[in-house]
Amino acid sequence: MKQNAEIQYSIRLKDIFFPKVVLTAGEELQKDVTSEISVRLQYEIGPNPTDKRVYQVVFTINVVDEKTKFDLEVQSVAYFECNNDIDDAFMNSGFIKVNSPAIAFPFVRSFINTLTTNAGFNPVILPAFNFTRSKPVEDESPDNAEIQ
């Protein structure tokens, strides 16, 4: 009796870029924006429409300090390459939903830290997020998740 061999996938972070970065602050320069910030992180995982071996993780991060009127919105797209064509079972696996954002997120954290420091503010150091505990965004597909 023949058994179907399970396809073994390996992934690698191919590229990451930041198509949207919006930083606004109050009229008075207040460097200490890290004392009372709120952070909102959303991410979505989806296939790349032009390459069957690539999928993407899109992060949208908002960092706000109401007191200093500091508001930062960053969108980041991380492209992952796979050694095999990607199918629905692969895209719906817990491996992808947890590990892909966990691999890409340190690069996003570093970008935000460097951006805020170079912009003259105290560095904004985002907390580490546990992607195994992320929950779906309301009224969105299960491939969208939000952490606050």
Q: What is the pLDDT of residues 37-47, one digit of tens each?
A: 899 999 999 99
Of residues 30 and 131, more confidence is placed in 131
CA-CA distance, 46 to 8, in Å (whole number)?
Answer: 20
Q: What is the pLDDT of residue 30?
A: 66
**84-106, pLDDT tens digit by residue?**
899 888 888 888 889 999 999 99
The verdict on residue 6 lying in a domain is: no
The verdict on residue 63 lying in a domain is: yes
Residue 57: closest CA among 134, 148, 138, 118: 134
State the CATH number of the domain containing residue 134.
3.10.420.10
Residue 3, helix vs strand vs coil:
coil
Number of domain units in the chain: 1
Residue 142 has pLDDT above 70, yes or no: no
The verdict on residue 3 lying in a domain is: no
Q: What is the pLDDT of residue 140?
A: 45
Walk across the sheet containing 135-136 and list its strands.
Answer: 11-24, 70-82, 54-65, 38-47, 144-147, 135-136
Q: What is the pLDDT of residue 26?
A: 78
The verdict on residue 5 lying in a domain is: no
